[in-house]
Structure 1
Amino acid sequence: MNSQLPMQRVAITWVNHCGAALVKVVPFSTFDSAVQIGVGFSPVADAFCADGSVDASHSLARPDDDLRLRADPKGLAWLEPSTGWAWAPGQRWQRSGEPYAADQRNFCAQQQQLLHSANITLMAGFELEWLVAGRSEDGSFLPAVLGGPYGADRLIEGLDYATAILNAFDAAGLPWLQFHPEYGSGQFEFSFSHTTAVEAADRLVHAKLLIQRVSNRFGLRCSFSPKPLLGQVGNGGHLHLSLQQADTHWLQGGAGIGGLQPQGEAFIAALLNHLPALLALACPLAVSYLRLAPSSWSAPFQVWGVENREAALRLIPTAADGVSAHLELKVADLAANPYLLLGAVQAVAWQAIQQPAKPLPAAVVGDPALLPDGLAKRLPINLTEASAAFAASELLQKSMGLLLHSSLVDSQKAEIKRCAGLCDEQLVVSSRWWPVVGAI
């Protein structure tokens, strides 16, 4: 980033256990200090619930200690050039200068480095879906842009809004592959190009901030909630992955189904095996599980398939379009902390080459919900089940370390407690305007 650009202030963000981006702002004139020394942030912020409250039983719900949030200068980018606002991802460190063991971005970076030590590169890119709505006094949803599913009519109806969003991405230097109206009412989607795991997570955080800002400028509200409305599709945050070791692409050029190499088969088998535990990271809100309904393209079964949009893991083989083969993790939504999710996926990749799991089962063709009982295992149907699998995961305990893993279990328990006794409609309403934290 050219330091001569007229940046005036920098928003430094990190993403906490409940998936919310938190921020400290510094003048651009002191940005070097924010990189080298950082700014203060209490560990209690990881005890925040999705509504902004703090669960008193959380292990981090205490007034002690302080951390330093350091900006990563490699991620410095524009937030809003016309007003002098810039953005940078942050990472938390101990005041002693040691990395903070429960920092989510640090976990992702450590797993990335571990793979690099074996000459393995995991590349990732997210899909980002959101609804845009008019503001209403009672908080109900009023689609701001009319038009049919994937419809050009919706693009034309919302062309000013779409132009502003795309201009904001381009001005921020945020690379995107594709933009289109999605299936749901007032819903849009971006797809991002593949990059390293840490940068892919950074891009998702940055993009959500830009969408929120542009929506606000139009007097609109945006929702990244997994299920903003009952009876309609939710918002996914599908994760696309590819892996390469030296000159070998794990997901193409092999003799396996869809061109899989042995390493690719081992990776998919390991991901399938760990999916129940990973679900607590991919779908961390109680409302997330209302989205994961059978026969709705949300893929709530523990299966994989080739170009099967009802499989939790969808292999997209390489073809005449020249795009490298990649794997789509379809169950993820945008409440997920992307650093935690990608860190955990990288930990699974590492285990896949160190301790290969059982052989890859057969790919599923068609809707798994229509298969005879027992042929397609359902993934956890609620956060309670997913959290139990996460808590019992030896792989995630070891790769994350005790502080990060146990504090995440505490956060999952807090979310379960927050939503206990709510009917489906109340649950949807309580999370509709995610990621706004708290009833503010």
Structure 2
Amino acid sequence: MPATAAMVANDDPTAAQLAALAEQLSGRGLTRLAVTWVNHAGATLVKVVPATALTAVTRRGVGFSPVSDAFRSDGAIDPEHRLARPDGDLRLVADPASVSPLEPASGWAWAAGMRRYRDGRSYEADQRCFCQRLESRLAADGVSLQAGFELEWMVLGGHDGLQPAVAGGPYGADRLMEALDYATALTEALDAAGLAWEQLHPEYGQGQFELSLAPGSPLQAADRLVLARLLIQRVSRRFGWRCSFSPKPFAEQVGNGGHLHLSVRRHGQPLLEGGEGPGGLGREGTALLAVLLRHLPALLPLACNSAVSYRRLAPGTWSAPFQAWGIENREAALRLIPAEADGASAHLELKVADLSANPYLLLGAVMAVLAEAPADVQESTAWPALPEPVVGDPARSGEAAPPRLPATLAEASQAFAASTLLRRALGDPLHASLIDSQQAEIRRAEGLGDEALLAASRWWPIVGGL
């Protein structure tokens, strides 16, 4: 939790706690507060208030029209979206427990927001409220998740703005040396924001980097991803570069992932280790993987939210486009990293996810699926049904290959629309409006060839393009 917000960790902070937090912000020279939320297209939207208005923005909020969830990924309002109307008003309310420095040197702080009706009721289509609700649902059953994201991005510059901004080979120390000032500035920005991170390294693609964020609760993990993207964008611009989080910026290069890592416990006991099954899975851990694997096609448009995401999900590219799980297999959509003698605990990686996803929706939906796994499997005589883990590259398995995940957003949206589990968990208003947004993205991509689609999506999530 950010140090600035430690005193307001409860759900209903007192006026005195909020006043103390505002005073702490003032004492650190933080005079402006950027309150963000993430819309259906996966874009981060913002309202800025004076830091002195902290109490007001956490109690009453600031206005935001529901139409913003009808924005496409390019910023245009889709006229066929059910929210493409001028009626109504919502209040974007800051969560004081999330308040963090954004750029202390220039007086900026940040907070995650969620939307409510003007009478204080939660807005049923708010993404962060959905994530919070599912986290509470699991907690009531004694289940807790720790989650963390890996972010991949490319830094680009040159005369046309499309060249790798730094030289160096895949995972190369030479690239780190070429970009040492950039890496220094970025890690200093992360530290100044109180954003816990675990590692940073040059990735495989040209000018590509990867940042692994420290795990936290689902809500914390989503908040950290949002803040990390803002900081990466800000530091890149300070160097005169642009960063691309697009799942597939260029046809001839690898894409950018946004991998989600999860560990699961029930009443404090880890569920992905200590058993007699493959990779140390016990009965309940096996049941968790089985239900997640079964619902993976329906989850896909939340993990891969853009049309261009499906250009990345190609066989043989380490993007894991098959409905399969594996043990330490980077071509498996669900990758189990088992507990080993090195002391690391077991966790699961959702390998297919990319950074077009709204992290609150993705984590909330994953929790909704995990909540369907039976808790009484320990008492059953039958082992939960789970396919054998894949070994090697599934694309080379011939007829024995596992089924492909949906190959287009249209196919994935059909699976999402047909999921009674997700419709029940999300609620009809949120579920239906997400289908509208998926269809809007499909229409945006219609008629665009591969190169045109990549170019039109390259600078996501800068709404409106360049």
- Normalised by the length of structure 2, the TM-score is 0.92
2:121 corresponds to: 98
Establish whether residue 350 from structure 1 lines up as the match of residue 376 from structure 2: no
CA distance in 2, matches of 1:395, 1:193: 30
CA distance in 2, matches of 1:179, 1:314: 21
Conservation of the 8 A alpha-carbon contact between 1:146 and 1:154: yes
Establish whether residue 38 from structure 1 lines up as the match of residue 61 from structure 2: yes
Counterpart residue type for residue 283 of structure 1: C
2:146 corresponds to: 123
1:365 corresponds to: 391
CA distance in 1, matches of 2:189, 2:79: 40
State how 1:405-420 maps to structure 2 within 5 Å.
Answer: 405-420=431-446
2:380 corresponds to: none
Any unmatched runs of 5+ in structure 1? none
1:217 to 228, 238, 253: 238
1:151 corresponds to: 172
Establish whether residue 294 from structure 1 lines up as the match of residue 320 from structure 2: no
Establish whether residue 114 from structure 1 lines up as the match of residue 140 from structure 2: no
CA distance in 2, matches of 1:88, 1:101: 21
1:376 corresponds to: 402
Counterpart residue type for residue 62 of structure 1: R
CA distance in 2, matches of 1:18, 1:226: 14
Counterpart residue type for residue 72 of structure 1: D
Q: C-alpha deviations, 1:239-260, integer Å up to 9, x for none?
A: 0000000132110111111111
Establish whether residue 398 from structure 1 lines up as the match of residue 421 from structure 2: no
Conservation of the 8 A alpha-carbon contact between 2:395 and 2:401: no
1:385 corresponds to: 411
Secondary structure at 1:352 match in 2: coil
Conservation of the 8 A alpha-carbon contact between 1:251 and 1:260: yes
CA distance in 1, matches of 2:154, 2:374: 40
Deviation of the 1:136 alpha carbon: 4.3
Deviation of the 1:135 alpha carbon: 5.4
Conservation of the 8 A alpha-carbon contact between 2:77 and 2:84: yes
Distance change >3 Å, CA 104–CA 136, structure 1 → 2: farther
1:245 corresponds to: 266
Deviation of the 1:267 alpha carbon: 0.8
2:224 corresponds to: 203
1:76 corresponds to: 99
Counterpart residue type for residue 193 of structure 2: A
Q: CA RMSD in A?
A: 1.3
CA distance in 2, matches of 1:394, 1:141: 43
Conservation of the 8 A alpha-carbon contact between 1:249 and 1:261: no
State how 1:249-328 maps to structure 2 within 5 Å.
Answer: 249-328=270-349
Distance change >3 Å, CA 241–CA 412, structure 1 → 2: same
Distance change >3 Å, CA 270–CA 355, structure 1 → 2: farther
CA distance in 1, matches of 2:106, 2:268: 45
CA distance in 2, matches of 1:223, 1:320: 38
Secondary structure at 1:241 match in 2: strand
CA distance in 2, matches of 1:339, 1:178: 23
Q: C-alpha deviations, 1:339-379, integer Å up to 9, x for none?
A: 00000000011011369896111111111111122531000
Deviation of the 1:262 alpha carbon: 1.3
Conservation of the 8 A alpha-carbon contact between 1:135 and 1:221: no
CA distance in 2, matches of 1:368, 1:114: 36
Percent pairwise identity: 61
Secondary structure at 1:177 match in 2: strand
CA distance in 1, matches of 2:228, 2:157: 20
1:428 corresponds to: 454
2:15 corresponds to: none
Conservation of the 8 A alpha-carbon contact between 1:35 and 1:73: yes
Secondary structure at 1:24 match in 2: strand
Q: Which moved more, 1:404-413 or 1:3-12?
A: 3-12
1:163 corresponds to: 184
Q: C-alpha deviations, 1:230-282, integer Å up to 9, x for none?
A: 11100000000000001321101111111112111111101110110100100
Counterpart residue type for residue 252 of structure 1: E
- Normalised by the length of structure 1, the TM-score is 0.98
Conservation of the 8 A alpha-carbon contact between 1:47 and 1:58: yes
Secondary structure at 2:197 match in 1: coil
State how 1:166-185 maps to structure 2 within 5 Å.
Answer: 166-185=187-206
Conservation of the 8 A alpha-carbon contact between 2:82 and 2:436: yes
Deviation of the 1:45 alpha carbon: 0.2
Deviation of the 1:382 alpha carbon: 0.4
Distance change >3 Å, CA 20–CA 135, structure 1 → 2: farther
CA distance in 2, matches of 1:208, 1:62: 30
Counterpart residue type for residue 405 of structure 1: H
* Number of aligned positions between the proteins: 438
Distance change >3 Å, CA 350–CA 41, structure 1 → 2: same
1:330 corresponds to: 351
Conservation of the 8 A alpha-carbon contact between 2:456 and 2:465: no
Conservation of the 8 A alpha-carbon contact between 1:135 and 1:219: no
Secondary structure at 2:398 match in 1: coil
Counterpart residue type for residue 382 of structure 1: T
Conservation of the 8 A alpha-carbon contact between 1:129 and 1:190: yes
Any unmatched runs of 5+ in structure 2? 5-23, 378-382
CA distance in 1, matches of 2:400, 2:306: 27
CA distance in 1, matches of 2:384, 2:419: 17
Conservation of the 8 A alpha-carbon contact between 1:149 and 1:185: yes
